[in-house]
């Protein structure tokens, strides 16, 4: 059975497992503000992220193309937001998962999260959708 991947895939998997060491030990206040944002298509949700993640729009396009007919009752944009979060690209420290999680761990995260609000609204709406529940 082929597992696919190679060194880059292995590095991504290791990073996702071992990034727990980056968790702050002090209390960080809950985030807020994103829930008041409108639900927008993925293409619009990632626009504010371009200065942070210059290639995010092309990856969002790929994710949306791969999610044309989601089987999970999510919208195409919701499903693609989950796929985009889980996608990796080069360099490893510039893909969405890594940068968002680093921002969420930051002590001044509320200010740093503002460009993420539209994406967070779409992404968390997808994650908390009844159709996405296990």
- pLDDT attached to residue 32: 85
- pLDDT attached to residue 30: 79
* 6, two tokens: 């190679």
Omega into 91 within 30° of 0, i.e. cis?
Answer: yes
pLDDT tens digits for range 81-115: 999 999 987 777 778 998 999 899 887 888 899 99
Domain ranges of the chain: 33-132
- pLDDT attached to residue 88: 81
DSSP conformational letter for 39: P
pLDDT tens digits for range 42-85: 999 999 999 999 999 999 999 999 999 988 889 999 999 999 99
pLDDT above 60 (res 24):
no
- pLDDT attached to residue 4: 53
């Amino acid at each position: 059975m082929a597992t696919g991947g190679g060194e880059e895939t292995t590095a991504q998997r290791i990073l996702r497992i071992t990034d727990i060491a980056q968790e702050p030990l002090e209390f960080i206040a809950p985030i807020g503000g994103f829930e008041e944002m409108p639900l927008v298509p993925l293409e619009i949700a990632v626009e504010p992220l371009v200065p942070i993640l210059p290639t995010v729009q092309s990856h969002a396009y790929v994710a949306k193309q791969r999610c044309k007919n989601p089987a999970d009752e999510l919208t195409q944009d919701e499903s693609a937001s989950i796929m985009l979060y889980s996608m990796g690209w080069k360099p490893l420290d510039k893909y969405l998962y890594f940068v968002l999680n680093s921002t969420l761990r930051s002590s001044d995260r509320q200010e740093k999260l503002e460009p993420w609000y539209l994406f967070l609204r779409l992404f968390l709406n997808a994650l908390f959708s009844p159709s996405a529940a296990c």
